[in-house]
Structure 1
Amino acid sequence: MILVTGASGQLGRLVIDNLLNTTPANQIVAAVRNPEKVVDLAEKGIQVRKADYSDLDSLVAAMQGVEKVLLVSSSEVGQRTAQHSNVINAAKQASVALIAYTSILNADKSPLILAKEHVETENLLAKSGVPYVLLRNGWYSENYTMGVAGALEHGVVGCAEDGKLSTAARADYAAAAAAVVIKNGQAGKVYELAGDNAFTLSEYAAAISKVSGKTVAYQNVPETEFTKILVSVGLPEGFAAVLADSEAGASKGGLFSDSKDLSTLIGRPTTSIEDSIKAAL
């Protein structure tokens, strides 16, 4: 059986959708904090088991009879290392044969603050004795395109300067994760997962202009100012600072890779930023 953590989240659900193409529903376990959120998955025959990243006992119980675990990284920045440690320890107690972990692109050399907990988790995996494979995910294109309406009104604002962004659609990363967990011989592998065609935020603004027919420009601002802008639109100050740090990290190459691991795994080109913009519009 294959267990997917965070199965009620956007990535987890997409992974399960992909697994259903190759794996019987009763061999898929959706591990969620609140089973009521995934009644639709249970109706498809998927095993829904209650599990909380912060509750080791619940994780051990959820992993009984499970062969492989896809550890979708927790969304609770600052608590991730402890929560991931629980998942790893539970997998060890349950004698799981493989953990696939969704890390961050170029984790071992990333300038992003967000990379810290991912590196700590990778180190925990290395010390655990449980076979594992690393899925180092780049940025989701949706991180940008979910704000395309605002970009059409106010232009694209950021602090990435001319840094290249190797983004791909969330669905691309989900397809890759599903492809890895159904394969044998994955232990010890590290996949740097990134979009085929990188772009700068100036090029992103130009792509919005092309798709929408409305001229959109990119304005680069200092990191501190970008943080203030994010706070002004309602983001918590701490989270805004993390996002701004990620943008600044992009200016140093932190979100760029010319790896073709992602398109190789999914057997097709990654979704272009233009197509992601069209979907958002």
Structure 2
Amino acid sequence: MIIVTGANGKVGRVVVEQLLMRVPAEEIGVSVRDPNQAQELRERGVRVRRGDYDDAESLHHAFEGASQVLIVSSGIMGEADIPHGIQQHQTAIDTAKRAGVTRVLYTSHIGSSPTSHFAPMIHHAATEKLLKASGMAFTSLRNGYYAASALLLIGGAIKTGELIAPEDGPVAWTAHSDLAEAAAAIISEQKLDGITPNLTGSEAIDMEGIASIASEVLGRTIRRIVVSDEEFRDRMMAQGVSEASIDMRMGMFLASRQGDFAQVDPVLADLIGRPPKSFREVLKESISQQQG
């Protein structure tokens, strides 16, 4: 049986949908904090059980009979959350081993590094170290930076016509749907052991490029305005953004300046059998959904 954790979330749910196209529903289980929110999956034949990264016994029950478990990364909001997040992943890995799971998969990131300016990357690097130490077969999915994050970054710019942010660097923005399709292929076909190559879109684009693409798609100018790190912080503070959230945003820009998210690799395209969605396509889909 294949178990997907966090299947009520954006990543886990799409992976389950992709798996349902490849394997019988009775071979799929989900581990979710609130089983009531996964009722639709239960009705389609998926095994639904409660599982919480902070409750090892609930995970043990959710992982029962599993041969493979996909651990969807727990979210962190800043550096202060890293120790708890690592402990949650340690619990999930240890419990999978105790439950007799033979292979663990994990949603990591191309920027995974213990020295990254961006807190989630430290979180991912620590988890990859735990996976290596577990003694189990594992696959760490080095996912490209989610294109959905870029949509959040330009949300205000679409309204104001100005994309105001500090200096940045190119990012290989990647669609959730493509990564979910790749994950399902890797799980169902037993592909890629260990840390995967970077699973990315086919181009790396900086904020200037995003502004240009948005301008073309919208049919009006979106100006890219570079401000100092200090001015950006002041602007965020004035908008009531928490200091932890500002640190996270700045961490992303600092890491991108160093090229941490710029690597482009053809492996994702090979896995899904077609070119990955471009940022332009993701943006068009988002606008279409909003208008619909």
- Same fold, TM exceeding 0.5? yes
Can you give the 5+ residue segments of structure 2 that lack an aligned partner in the other structure? 288-292
Higher mean C-alpha deviation, range 213-222 or range 144-153? 144-153
Contact in 1 for aligned 2:217/2:284 (Cα 8 Å): yes
Q: CA deviation at 1:233?
A: 4.3
Which position in structure 2 is the counterpart of 1:120?
A: 126
TM-score, normalization by structure 2: 0.90
TM-score, normalization by structure 1: 0.94
Contact in 2 for aligned 1:159/1:221 (Cα 8 Å): yes
Contact in 1 for aligned 2:30/2:62 (Cα 8 Å): no
Which position in structure 2 is the counterpart of 1:63?
A: 63
Higher mean C-alpha deviation, range 38-47 or range 232-241? 232-241
SS at 2:104 equivalent: strand
1:41/1:234 Cα in 2 relative to 1: closer, same or farther (>3 Å)?
A: farther
Q: How many residues align?
A: 280
Is 1:249 aligned with 2:248?
A: no
Q: How does 1:67-216 map to 2 (within 5 A)?
A: 67-77=67-77, 78=81, 79-108=84-113, 110-154=116-160, 155-161=162-168, 163-184=169-190, 186-216=192-222
1:53/1:228 Cα in 2 relative to 1: closer, same or farther (>3 Å)?
A: farther
1:31/1:224 Cα in 2 relative to 1: closer, same or farther (>3 Å)?
A: farther
Higher mean C-alpha deviation, range 86-95 or range 145-154? 145-154
Whole-Å separation in 1 of the counterparts to 2:99 and 2:253 = 39
SS at 1:7 equivalent: coil
Equivalent position amino acid for 2:255 in 1: G
Whole-Å separation in 2 of the counterparts to 1:268 and 1:243 = 32
Q: CA deviation at 1:181?
A: 0.8
Contact in 2 for aligned 1:112/1:254 (Cα 8 Å): no
Is 1:275 aligned with 2:281?
A: yes
Equivalent position amino acid for 1:68 in 2: Q
Higher mean C-alpha deviation, range 249-258 or range 102-111? 102-111
Whole-Å separation in 2 of the counterparts to 1:67 and 1:229 = 49
Contact in 1 for aligned 2:73/2:106 (Cα 8 Å): yes
Q: CA deviation at 1:222?
A: 2.6
1:263/1:97 Cα in 2 relative to 1: closer, same or farther (>3 Å)?
A: same
Equivalent position amino acid for 1:95 in 2: G
Whole-Å separation in 1 of the counterparts to 2:183 and 2:194 = 15
Can you give the 5+ residue segments of structure 1 that lack an aligned partner in the other structure? none
SS at 1:103 equivalent: strand
Contact in 2 for aligned 1:195/1:271 (Cα 8 Å): yes
Contact in 2 for aligned 1:111/1:252 (Cα 8 Å): no
Q: CA deviation at 1:110?
A: 4.6
Q: CA deviation at 1:242?
A: 1.1
Whole-Å separation in 2 of the counterparts to 1:133 and 1:227 = 37
Equivalent position amino acid for 1:81 in 2: I
What do residues 152-196 of structure 1 show as CA deviations (whole Å, max 9, x unaligned)? 2222122243x1110111111111111111122533342311110
Contact in 1 for aligned 2:69/2:104 (Cα 8 Å): yes
Q: CA deviation at 1:231?
A: 4.6
**Structure 1: which 4+ aligned runs deviate by more than 6 Å?**
none
What do residues 84-119 of structure 1 show as CA deviations (whole Å, max 9, x unaligned)? 001000111011111111111142475433211111
What do residues 116-147 of structure 1 show as CA deviations (whole Å, max 9, x unaligned)? 11111111111111110110112111112145
What do residues 63-86 of structure 1 show as CA deviations (whole Å, max 9, x unaligned)? 110010111100134121000001
